[in-house]
Structure 1
């Protein structure tokens, strides 16, 4: 059984959220990923694998011009911003492969004296950039070992629009479990009455190796005394995720589901370890078009997505919690897509008052020639007593070179 599941390799700019449109870009964190269909398991229509070894290389490049207009305090930009994600795959045999994701993006934190530093914390314009290996692991059959993003939640790359997942991506403020090293076991159930069903179990801890360093801006090596979620002496953080996966073809609407939980160990000087839980579902509804038109991308589709997540003992404090609810709707008509999203975030504490933060985005995108996607997005965000509007234009280009043309993506 061969299942290709990148476990979160990509996220930062979903222009198209349907999984079966032309070229697609995920939502935030990383760029390659949700674009490809899950390859069929052995005995279920898989094409002959041919000779080994096989090499695949795919790059998604992004050029953006964007900026922030703040209600009070300093604004940002507009400024240009360039980033790219490159996936590398070497298939040694039908069971053994080596996978990597090199990510070049903005990494330098906002200045501590910027009163608007918590607004659009994951948007890149005006920040120093650096490249590093976000993922580097070996897969053998249904096992993988190394550095990879665990299969927890999907909103950070399924939400449509370049800025929509600002609250969600990355592990410190959001719930994308990046920068983790560990081992994972994947089990695919034989019964497909309700879709492709899989269970993934992972144990891991924070990457404290040289793989965390980046250039030219260097994030440096993480130490145990730096603390942070998942930063434990041993790989004592445990994740269990259940997925039900479907892909719409022709007129039939299809839904996917995910339920997941992570138990994090207590990190340096933390009172408690965090507990993360999430539940999400999306439904793709083809409006018109035959099966052939669907496969060629010539069709109309409505895509709805909702995901809820919770972080108990947020930032290691007993009794503190952060809750998220994300909702999106996007309509695809041939080369055009229009999308609306919102994420509501609540932070609660035993002593401090409840803080409600929110982001709303609107995006219109068009599939241009030569595998180039263009989009215009506007986002309104408020965090605490700060608020601002972020707007930008993005162009996204895909480059692929491979002996076996398959862009790896998570299994939906």
Structure 2
């Protein structure tokens, strides 16, 4: 597949929401409960960010960055009750800007993060293709404008492989056990359009970049726990084999919990905690511990968050970040948040103000509509 073909495919995929939304309006409300195959369903997440690093012990690091972050289109083509195809595209800043020069919508690239085949049989779900294996959840749901900054380091994404997940209900809640084996993407899909982030190669090294199914992750996720409404947890282990030139294999374990509690007067209090430990992190001769702790309050359209993150490397030292943020969710579905972060990274103290605007659209032709 050349870059022109990839551009055409990306354009067609981003055109799907318009057609799907139009078709959805013409369907009766009950259509989502009894899908007519084949169907197309998905959601489009939009996110605009502005980060102003206004004070640093290194003045040359101060700059303003207005950019797109994690604008994702997730599409499911339901072929039958068993078989489906998943497609995911991301439009975001694919290269870090270089301070002190300000950046306004620079280095924006489009890439395909998911293209896989899925088979659902009873409580089993099987996946084959380019996908995102489960491992932790702080990188996705930690509260606040800057709440996921460190946990995103260990997110597993853009890998080719095979996965199987089994969901089971017990007297102690609903649980999903998932097993994935994979390797890092080094195909043309590791590149990006508009701004090309460059193609990955085996020679680049890095844990998991082996071109073989010699990497795996095993995770357990639970929710709907009796007498613990709003509680969920995750446990996981992963093994990433050493890539070219690496010191050794990476092994990691993770544990996380999160809970939302109604405390009265329409107020919801949320807590989250996740800890991950890695030996030979990234294939290097260094061990790492990541810790994320967060709290949130929500009342009606208003919400506020306080989150702390620690990233400790045995050799390179310790970074930490504390952020506080607040926001308002409009009836139209837009959410506007403002945050402040104090970060100590690489021995330097930085202070950043951030603004984030998000909006989610979901659509379907006849199948179930994904939740935003």
The TM-score with structure 2 as length reference comes to 0.84
Secondary structure in structure 1 of the residue aligned to 2:134? coil
1:98-147, Cα deviation, whole Å (9 max, x unpaired): 11111000111355xx6x99xxxxxx966511011111111111101111
Secondary structure in structure 2 of the residue aligned to 1:246? strand
The aligned counterpart of 2:298 is: 332
Contact map agreement 2:49 2:355 (CA 8 A) in 1: yes
Aligned counterparts of 1:59 and 1:301: Cα–Cα separation in 2: 26
Range that drifts further, 142-151 or 57-66: 57-66
Q: Do the aligned partners of residues 254 and 237 (structure 1) sit closer, same or farther apart at CA in structure 2, a change above 3 Å counting?
A: same
Secondary structure in structure 1 of the residue aligned to 2:154? coil
Aligned counterparts of 2:108 and 2:309: Cα–Cα separation in 1: 26
| Equivalent of residue 246 in structure 1, options 211, 224, 229 | 224
| Equivalent of residue 204 in structure 1, options 158, 167, 182 | 182
Contact map agreement 1:164 1:379 (CA 8 A) in 2: no
The aligned counterpart of 2:132 is: 149
Secondary structure in structure 1 of the residue aligned to 2:209? coil
Aligned counterparts of 1:234 and 1:228: Cα–Cα separation in 2: 13
Aligned counterparts of 2:138 and 2:89: Cα–Cα separation in 1: 21
1:372 CA drift (Å):
0.7
1:265-321, Cα deviation, whole Å (9 max, x unpaired): 1210112110011000111111237xxxxxxxxx42111000000110123234x20
Aligned counterparts of 1:346 and 1:164: Cα–Cα separation in 2: 17
The aligned counterpart of 1:94 is: 81
Contact map agreement 1:344 1:359 (CA 8 A) in 2: yes
Contact map agreement 1:313 1:321 (CA 8 A) in 2: yes
The aligned counterpart of 1:281 is: 257
The aligned counterpart of 2:9 is: none
Secondary structure in structure 2 of the residue aligned to 1:222? coil
Range that drifts further, 396-405 or 354-363: 396-405
1:229 CA drift (Å):
1.9
Aligned counterparts of 1:158 and 1:132: Cα–Cα separation in 2: 22
1:355-407, Cα deviation, whole Å (9 max, x unpaired): 11101111101111311111111111111211211112222122223123522
The TM-score with structure 1 as length reference comes to 0.76
Aligned counterparts of 1:303 and 1:402: Cα–Cα separation in 2: 31
The aligned counterpart of 1:53 is: 38
Secondary structure in structure 1 of the residue aligned to 2:151? coil
Indicate whether 1:407 and 2:370 are aligned: yes
Contact map agreement 1:56 1:90 (CA 8 A) in 2: yes
| Equivalent of residue 323 in structure 2, options 357, 361, 379 | 361
1:310-355, Cα deviation, whole Å (9 max, x unpaired): 110123234x201011100001111111110011111003xxxx61
Indicate whether 1:392 and 2:354 are aligned: yes
1:66-88, Cα deviation, whole Å (9 max, x unpaired): 21122223244434323421111
The aligned counterpart of 2:95 is: 108
Aligned counterparts of 1:208 and 1:185: Cα–Cα separation in 2: 23
The aligned counterpart of 1:74 is: 60
Secondary structure in structure 1 of the residue aligned to 2:208? coil
Aligned counterparts of 2:151 and 2:75: Cα–Cα separation in 1: 26
Gaps of 5+ in 2: 1-31
Contact map agreement 2:176 2:222 (CA 8 A) in 1: yes
Aligned counterparts of 1:49 and 1:356: Cα–Cα separation in 2: 53
The aligned counterpart of 1:182 is: 161
Give the CA RMSD over aligned residues.
2.3
| Bigger share in helix | 2
Aligned counterparts of 2:104 and 2:140: Cα–Cα separation in 1: 19
Secondary structure in structure 2 of the residue aligned to 1:215? coil
Aligned residues: 333
| Bigger share in strand | 2
Q: Do the aligned partners of residues 71 and 126 (structure 1) sit closer, same or farther apart at CA in structure 2, a change above 3 Å counting?
A: farther
The aligned counterpart of 2:8 is: none
1:178 CA drift (Å):
1.6
Q: Do the aligned partners of residues 366 and 405 (structure 1) sit closer, same or farther apart at CA in structure 2, a change above 3 Å counting?
A: farther
| Equivalent of residue 316 in structure 1, options 280, 283, 303 | 283
Contact map agreement 2:174 2:225 (CA 8 A) in 1: no
Contact map agreement 2:147 2:294 (CA 8 A) in 1: no
Indicate whether 1:233 and 2:211 are aligned: yes
